[in-house]
Chains A and B, each alone.
Chain A
Amino acid sequence: MLKFVGKRILQAVPILVGISLVAFILLQLTPGGPGAAYRGLANVSAEDLARIEAEFGFDRPLIIQYFAWLGQFIQGDWGISFVARQPVFGLIMARLPATLLLMASGITVSLIISIPLGLIAAIKRDTWVDHTLTFLSFVGLSIPVFWLGLMLIIVFSVWLGWFPTGGMGPPGEDVGILTRIWYLTLPTVAISMVSLSFFTRYLRASMIETMDEDYMRFNKARGVPPVRRYMRHAFRNAGIPFVTVVAIHIPEFLVGALVVETIFSWPGTGRLFWDSALRFDYPVLMGVLVLVSLMVVASNLLADVLYGKLDPRVRLD
């Protein structure tokens, strides 16, 4: 097991190097290059600029700059934000918990809703229940997240006044769990819709495939009661690829969080990324991009490990 995880991490190294190269190249391509933070400031003369560039090493060959940058990056020195004039690493990490909270809430709600729906659709296959659920999942998959968020705000905040229009809680207060949930409700609905539709469809397909297996027919002939047949025999087997798919799907919640945070003024990394894009704050953009890419690699790794752990037919080595 450990050996497999180690091997998979090693296999991820080229991708990690690739991600770092992409980030470095993009940083070089930014208008003004990496030294742009100091350019154009009134109190920085041309000589000062040259001195600063020499000090930061911007006049060295690119390859050396890359390794220097990489070394700093690994140590958590992600550069200085053009706008906030603070270390990028700290800025991002301060925003990360809010994003993780939103993602966790979205994943939990998607699973709680999609698992029963997927099971029901598969068990009631080819009935009106199944057709309705399949149709609704198509609808859910097709709603643009940002529009759903906008509509939720219009209906439930502006019109009915049931929920706040955005933010994580009333400013300047220590927020209790109920208030937090109250503020989380609409963003969670928005971030979950696409994924829960996808999960429902996937689980249905996976269940149907399992239910067509010979051993399921044999179980039926043997007189195993339906609940036991569906839950213990079918769901257990269909659940394996489902868990893998959920793990692979985690990055979609990152993308969803970006949109949802922007609409609901949720102070997370996604909102930070958007703000930085509008203000051309490239060091922050690079930092977030690398961070989310690392999360993608991690969730793929998680998917592989879970798959091998849950399915005894697959041997990991």
Chain B
Amino acid sequence: MNRVSDENLDALARDEEVEEVSNWRRNWRRFRRNRPALIGLIVLFTILAAAILGPMLSPYDTLTQDLSNRLQGPSWAHPMGTDELGRDSMTRVLAGGRISLGVAALATTVALTVGILVGSVAGFYGRWIDNVLMRFTDLALSLPDLFLLILAASLLGPSFTTMVIIIGLVRWMNVARLTRGSFLTLREREFVLAARASGTRSRGIIFKHLLPNSLSPLIVAGTLGVASAIIAESTLSFLGLGLQPPTSSWGTMLRNAQQQIFTAPWAAVFPGIMIFLTVVSVNFIGDGLRDIFDPGGATLGKSRFQRRLRSLRAGNEPPQLIAAQDPDAAIRVRPIDP
């Protein structure tokens, strides 16, 4: 009897030490070692600051037209040239960044919220609820996102809010799968069983024990989600189904630039570079975060391969508590039905 409880206590102690995300100093040191991630962070902050402060400091306004200065090339007065209505492109690019980044950040929040909700319910309650929700997730995954986005934009009409919602609603599936997967492994762990045994409510277990210990993959997924949301928004806007003038994001500006590629090719360069720089930075930051949370260097490749192999072999069974199956165990623990 002693043997088991000692081991369990040990595991309990180790669990909470290993899973802890809040060791900021150690994490920061590890993040810093990843040079591209650090540079990405600096670039992203620069872009953010420029987008927020730039339009305020700029001598030009984003909407005032100056028709005598139409489609000028880059110069000292207009570092990124002027557009077809003589507006200063740099000011517009920086202001467009607010929109692009804003849509991306909010859409990712929507995606995380929906994904965590679906994933927690599926992973915690299991059984038929899990089955229904996961089939629904599979269904959502088999509708290619850009097609769905275009259809939704065409149905709902373009606006800032619709952009945020529809982009969020096509990007929650991976988050849900990650949350569910981690809940399934965690819910049979000793510290969760202990919490359950001591009478913690389901809500408490989800928010105090399961969710905090599932955060690391979600942080990485959320970061990378911002990158894909930026691309989704700019693609939609570029295709003419996103934000409409005078609200302009980087994608909208590229759509205008496309009509001028013969007369003003430089106009297509700058907004694109901004999108590219932001996405590259976010991707590098995501990679750095993955380094922190997964120091074994388990890459995307490894985990996906292992998961497939395992699920093909085990027929998708959630991991069981060893003690539950061990007939010689001093304590017989039955997996708790939620």
Contacts and interface: CB of A to CB of B under 8 A. Distances in A.
B305 A206 contact: yes
B154 A254 contact: no
Contacts of B279: 142-144
Contact of A262 (B141, B239, B305, B308): B239
Main secondary structure, interface of B, reads helix
Contact of A14 (B135, B234, B276, B300): B135
B142 A273 contact: no
Contact of B261 (A18, A139, A154, A206): A154
B299 A296 contact: no
B145 A144 contact: no
Contact of A147 (B145, B147, B262, B275): B275
Given A150-B254, A150-B268, A255-B144, A245 B276 contact: no
Nearest to B268: A150
A191 interface: no
Interface string B227-257: 1000100110011110000000000001001
Interface string A284-302: 0100110011001100100
Interface string A257-293: 0110011000000000110011010000100110011
Contacts of A278: 154, 240-241
A296 B144 contact: yes
B302 interface: yes
A244 interface: yes
A147 B274 CA distance: 11
Contacts of A244: 308
Contacts of B142: 15, 19, 293, 296-297, 300
Most chain B CB within 10 A, of A15, A141, A146, A280, is at: A146
Contacts of B138: 15
B36 A145 contact: no
Interface in B22-37: 36
Given A150-B261, A158-B262, A144 B304 contact: no
A78 interface: no
B235 A145 contact: yes
B287 interface: yes
Contacts of A292: 143-144, 147
A26 interface: yes
Interface residues of A, number: 58
Contacts of A258: 146-147, 150
A147 B254 contact: yes
Contact of A151 (B145, B147, B150, B272): B272
A11 B283 CA distance: 35
A159 B268 CA distance: 14
Contact of A307 (B139, B269, B308): B308
B305 A277 contact: no
B172 interface: no
A292 B145 CA distance: 11
A30 interface: yes
Nearest to B280: A142
Contacts of B145: 255
Nearest to B266: A154
B95 to A, nearest CB: 19
B147 A289 contact: yes
Interface in B100-151: 135-136, 138-139, 141-148, 150-151
A254 B255 CA distance: 22
Contacts of A15: 135, 138-139, 142
A178 interface: no
A141 B276 CA distance: 10
Interface string B57-99: 0000000000000000000000000000000000000000000
Interface of B: 36, 135-136, 138-139, 141-148, 150-151, 153-155, 227, 231, 234-235, 238-241, 254, 257-258, 261-262, 265, 268-269, 272, 275-276, 279-280, 283-284, 287, 299-302, 304-305, 308-309, 312-313
Interface of A: 14-15, 18-19, 22, 26, 29-31, 135, 138-139, 141-147, 150-151, 153-154, 158-159, 201-202, 204-206, 209, 241, 244-245, 251, 254-255, 258-259, 262-263, 273-274, 277-278, 280, 285, 288-289, 292-293, 296-297, 300, 307-308, 313-314
18 contacts: A22-B139, A26-B155, A29-B155, A144-B235, A147-B238, A201-B300, A202-B300, A202-B301, A205-B300, A241-B308, A259-B239, A262-B239, A274-B150, A277-B154, A285-B154, A289-B143, A296-B144, A314-B309
